[in-house]
A and B are shown apart, each in its own frame.
Chain A
Amino acid sequence: MEPKKTALYDTHINLGAKMVEFAGYWMPVQYSGIKEEHHCVRNSVGIFDVSHMGEFFFSGEKAADFLQKMTLNDISKLQLHRAQYSGMCYDDGGLVDDLIVYCFGDTYMAIVNAGNLQKDYDWLQQHLAAGVELEDRSEEFSLFAVQGRHAEATLQKLADIDLSEIKFYWFREGVLAGEKAFIARTGYTGEDGFEIGVDAARSPAVWNAILEAGSEFSIQPIGLAARDTLRLEMKYSLYGNDIDQTTNPIEAGLGWITKVDKGDFVGRDAIMKVKEAGPSRKLVGFEVKGRGLARHGYPIMKDGAEIGVVTSGTFSPSLEKGIGLGYVNIPHNEIGATIEISVRGKGIAAEVVKTPFYQRPY
């Protein structure tokens, strides 16, 4: 099937992006180069097109109850204009997806991974009860992330609301560069910044306005490759790499969003069993000590025995060394544990380290 195009496709081509197929869309993987783009976000500000991601809307008198049953986090804690990182599990505790839920009063929006959009929709539809309406409005929106220490100053020039009033994991509705937008102080980079939803048809003008507003900070467009190195330095999970239907939230380090005391939800029984018995493995961050890089799927070894598997690995442009995430059997998950990554048959030394790998200096 020919990949779909976001509203920004031509804009990316004109910016010189290298385009790749990702989750059924043509997406920019890189513009000027991974390292340069990475440092641009860490040191100033960058803009990402993440319009491939899905937007589901939940309305009706039972919308909150339905989300409470379907997601891991506690919806009762969510109030108007708050956002909440959450997940969905199958009955066996395996993850369907990770997502962010936004509260618009009686209506809720969930932003889901593009690669899981249809699967998520079907899963939600299967469980749909009376009094809830579920609507997939993904095609209507473009989603941009503006990330970096100068994100607020860049967007404030274009916004009719005071962005400094939006706290981390809150959002507002306003007008941005003349267009209606929701503006959330969220992101996937570890920097301060915002994620913005605007009408897809009118979004190229908004993108261009942001590039112009950020020009005094040397803003750059950032591709998916740098998005990956940025999120990996923060140990943010990527569905399909670090979490999937075979991983449960406890071993994935997502216990903090899994509110087992909130009442029943899909997957709770299985998750309780894992919590009671203790997980057999944990997702850890490691630094590669030897020469080479860890990659998804490489075995993790200790004294000749396989004790785990790499789920993500790259060269960290901020730390200038190889880093990665992987599941390791307990007790090899302890900070400081020495492990080996089997890189094409050769053992390379690595050490389990505290995460996030990177902490912003402001």
Chain B
Amino acid sequence: MNVPDDLKYTAEHEWIAIDGDSAKIGITDYAQCELGDIVFVELPGVGEQTKAAEPFGTIEAVKAVSELFAPLSGEVVEKNGQLEEQPELINTDPYGEGWIIKLKVGDDSEVANLLSPDAYKNEIG
């Protein structure tokens, strides 16, 4: 499974790219593989608040629905509009075109709770 070195992770299989006070979020290669073919993504609107460890959206795959858990508290500043028409981008390019939302980080101290690539690799065995 692909686990890029330059990202942070959560045990709920999300990746986070921190850039200043902005955090770009998606799901990991492992997660998209477990979910299988993704057909819908339901996301919060720009301006809505997320709370760390609370659900912020859902992913419908052919076989099941899963919740997306916010890795960090913050405000949604952008969502990946391409996913509306092409949710399968999460399957084909989970770390690139399949990114999900961007947050303005609300509480810097939460960043320390995120997993390093090695810690995440341990998590998925």
Interface of A toward B, CB cutoff 8 Å: 29-30, 33-35, 225, 228-229, 291-293, 295, 314-315, 317, 322, 344
Instruction: Jot down 12 A-B pairs with beta carbons below 8 A, ordered by A.
Output: A34-B37, A34-B63, A35-B37, A228-B63, A229-B62, A292-B40, A293-B39, A295-B64, A315-B37, A315-B39, A315-B40, A322-B39
Q: Are B40 and A225 interface neighbours, CB within 8 A?
A: no
Question: B63 is contacted by which of A291, A292, A314, A322 (Cβ under 8 Å)?
Answer: A314
Find residues 11-61 in chain B having any chain A CB closer than 8 Å to their own CB: 36-37, 39-40, 42, 58, 60
Chain A contacts for B39, CB-based, 8 A: 293, 315, 322
Chain B contacts for A344, CB-based, 8 A: 58
Q: Number of B residues contacting the other chain (C-beta, 8 Å)?
A: 11
Please report the C-alpha to C-alpha distance between residue A295 and residue B39 in the assembled complex, in whole angstroms. 14
Find residues 44-102 in chain B having any chain A CB closer than 8 Å to their own CB: 58, 60, 62-65
Chain B contacts for A291, CB-based, 8 A: 40, 42
Shortest B81–chain A CB gap in Å is 14
Q: Are B60 and A292 interface neighbours, CB within 8 A?
A: yes
Tell me the nearest residue of chain A to B91, going by C-beta: A33
Main secondary structure of the interface of A (DSSP, over half): mixed
Tell me the nearest residue of chain B to A226, going by C-beta: B62
Main secondary structure of the interface of B (DSSP, over half): strand
Q: Are A292 and B62 interface neighbours, CB within 8 A?
A: no
Interface of B toward A, CB cutoff 8 Å: 36-37, 39-40, 42, 58, 60, 62-65
Shortest A36–chain B CB gap in Å is 8
Please report the C-alpha to C-alpha distance between residue A53 and residue B40 in the assembled complex, in whole angstroms. 33
Please report the C-alpha to C-alpha distance between residue A318 and residue B21 in the assembled complex, in whole angstroms. 44
Given contacts A30-B36, A293-B39, contact A225 B60 (CB under 8 A): no
Please report the C-alpha to C-alpha distance between residue A322 and residue B87 in the assembled complex, in whole angstroms. 14
Tell me the nearest residue of chain B to A292, going by C-beta: B40
Shortest A222–chain B CB gap in Å is 14
Q: Are A33 and B36 interface neighbours, CB within 8 A?
A: yes
Given contacts A315-B60, A344-B58, contact A293 B65 (CB under 8 A): yes
Chain A contacts for B40, CB-based, 8 A: 291-293, 315
Please report the C-alpha to C-alpha distance between residue A322 and residue B62 in the assembled complex, in whole angstroms. 9
Q: Are B36 and A295 interface neighbours, CB within 8 A?
A: no
Q: Are A34 and B65 interface neighbours, CB within 8 A?
A: no
Chain B contacts for A33, CB-based, 8 A: 36-37
Chain B contacts for A35, CB-based, 8 A: 37, 62
Shortest A262–chain B CB gap in Å is 40
Chain B contacts for A229, CB-based, 8 A: 62
- Looking at B36, B60, B62, B64, the one whose CB has the most chain A CB atoms below 10 A away is B62
